[in-house]
Structure 1
Amino acid sequence: MGSIAKNEVTEDSKRIIDICRDLVKRSGITNAEFYKKSGMRNNYWHVRLRYEAPLTTSDVEHIASTFGLTSLDIYTRALGSDAARAYAAREREFRVTDELVDRIASRPEDFGVAANDDPNKTLEAETPRD
């Protein structure tokens, strides 16, 4: 099993850094405000902007919270539009499933199965199969 260089900046890392850089640029806040709100230090941030080191997951979380986002928001933006749409579709699918389960749990009598209402079910259950 190979090892990963400690400060390797992969293509995904670069996309995440670019998203974070864009958030800072478009926000209009000063660098001093950004450093204070995010907990970043000037040199630490600029090393990452130059792709000399990746952002950690904690860094992304701090940057996201600075702008009222979650780290998942940043990662999703970094995935690109196709991947983001696929992720959103999966999330909708799970929501639909969860909503259906909640409806069934709240009124199980509305979702009966025909076998449960079969008057011959006891007789059929006792009948041996050949």
Structure 2
Amino acid sequence: MMKSMGSKKIDVSALGKIVSTNIRAQLGIRRMSNRELARQMGRSESYVRARINDEKEWNLNDIGIISQIWAISPDRLVIPMVEEADDSTASRLHEEDADALAERIAANPEQYAIAANRDPNKDLEREGGEGR
């Protein structure tokens, strides 16, 4: 732990990391910069940057202000948007999805015909001719 003037540095909590992840996502959705968020909050850009980068904790007042700025409920900032899954679970689900898709294709191949297979200009397109 890093010590500074007799006090211990406290890491950002798991909840704080969820908040900063959700704020980063909302910034992206809104195409808003840290600078613009700071301006609208009445805070410095360095204040916002430190929290966006998980160097410092967001406080409840920040969450309230940001919620008002974006006209969203504060719970949108404190509840994880996506549940985390470990790699083995994600991999297993992907394999199950691929197997299920293969079974659906085998059962109904006519539903999954390739569009170019029916295109009268497919040969011209493949050879770079007028079909393109």
Higher helix share: 1
Larger Cα-atom Rg: 1
State the TM-score, normalizing by the size of structure 1: 0.49
